[in-house]
Amino acid sequence: MTLSVSLRADRPVPLEVAFEVAPGELLALVGHSGSGKTTILRSIAGLWTPSSGQVRAGGTVWLDTGAGIDLAVHRRSIGFVFQSYALFPHMTALGNVLTAMATPDRAEAARLLDLVNLHGLADRKPAQLSGGQQQRVALARALARKPSVLLLDEPFSAVDRATRERLHAEIIALRSHLAMPVVLVTHDMNEAQLLADRMLVIQNGRLVREGTTAQVMADADALRAMGIREVAALLPAVIAGIEEDGLTRLDTATGPIFLPGVQGDPGTRLRVRIMAHEIILSRARPTGLSAQNILPARVTKLTQGDGPAVTVHLSVGEAELLARITRRAARDLALAPGDRVHAVLKAMSVARDHIAPASRHV
């Protein structure tokens, strides 16, 4: 079922947003602290009521202030993962999951713990689990409600970077089992880009940009709203194997690229986040360079922002790549929409946390 949201409020922050989330889609609400992201999530969950608005899950109305409808939290079919996890400290992992079930089912609770990679830890209490493991229990508990909508409120902010990377991969893998709309609140644009199908950039309670991850990350205004100076794009790829020099070969729509430290079996689909400033453009196919990653591309658009830089939008198969070059370089190359070029990427320029499994929407 599709989640439809339309909200207006004056307090605690001005709020004016409207959006939809399709079944199986992950939508990221991104913005600075105090921008209204969590207020939106709480409005969907029924934890806070706006001045006016509507929330619908499929054909079921959860909120319609004009009609006087405001269902209580327990009557809304949601799974909610809080930033603090909010686990019961005196209960085991299994006990925490069982509390969310209308009819407790130990076998089903154990299955959910296995689904989030907690096999063998059902009898441990939260204090005996790492932060990442506690987050997985909270996720299993949210799924135990068999929700129509899954809400994630900064679920990775309390864990270290290495754990966060593992959890990102697990969330994406888990999505193959989920058919409900998923709404993620985060202040981290990199996290949103790796996990989400679409982003909403929220500023002072209002929607300032909406689009796919590629569209938002290519929008200078949206990035400025988040205080981000750099742009990036996601390149879909498939692991082909390990080369003799230790680099992993990834096949893309227009050719192979070779990167270090990529984990996964041959055939695994990935999304590689490539920073725009790491791309070098050439009219002719370069020769005599140490760079092995040379992708044929077509220029679709040039965006000139403030300062000396130009963002070149490139079509690479069905994906969009972004290159950030100087105005002088763009002028010397005489670039125009429709031109064929070669995009060169240094293998060592892609960090490990810029690689994530592909979602089914990619």
- pLDDT score at 190: 72
Phi, psi (deg, nearest 5) at residue 247: -75, 150
Q: Where, residue-wise, is CATH 2.40.50.100 in the chain?
A: 233-357
What percentage of the chain exceeds 90 in pLDDT? 39
* Average of per-residue pLDDT across 38-51: 94
DSSP track, 225-273: HTT----EEEEEEEEEEE-TTSPEEEEETTEEEEESS--S-TT-EEEEE
Token couple for 334: 């005489």
pLDDT tens sequence across 90-138: 999 999 999 999 899 999 999 999 988 898 999 999 999 988 899 889 9
- pLDDT score at 137: 93
pLDDT at 66 over 80: yes
pLDDT at 71 over 90: yes
CB atoms within 10 A of CB 91: 15
Residue 213 — very low, low, confident or very high, per pLDDT cuts 50/70/90? Answer: confident
CATH class as words, domain 3-231? alpha beta
pLDDT at 315 over 60: yes
Nearest Cα neighbor of 76 from 183, 152, 181, 149 is: 149
pLDDT at 54 over 90: yes
* Average of per-residue pLDDT across 16-29: 94
Which residues are registered as beta bridge partners of 296? 342
When the pLDDT of each residue in the chain is averaged and rounded to a whole number, the result is 85
DSSP track, 298-342: EEEEEEE-STTEEEEEEEETTEEEEEEEEHHHHHHHT--TT-EEE
* Average of per-residue pLDDT across 191-215: 85
End-to-end CA distance of the chain: 20
Q: Where, residue-wise, is CATH 3.40.50.300 in the chain?
A: 3-231
- pLDDT score at 164: 74
- pLDDT score at 175: 77
- pLDDT score at 362: 41
Rg of the Cα trace of the chain? Answer: 22
> What is the architecture of the domain spanning 233-357?
Beta Barrel (2.40)
Q: What is the pTM of this model?
A: 0.70
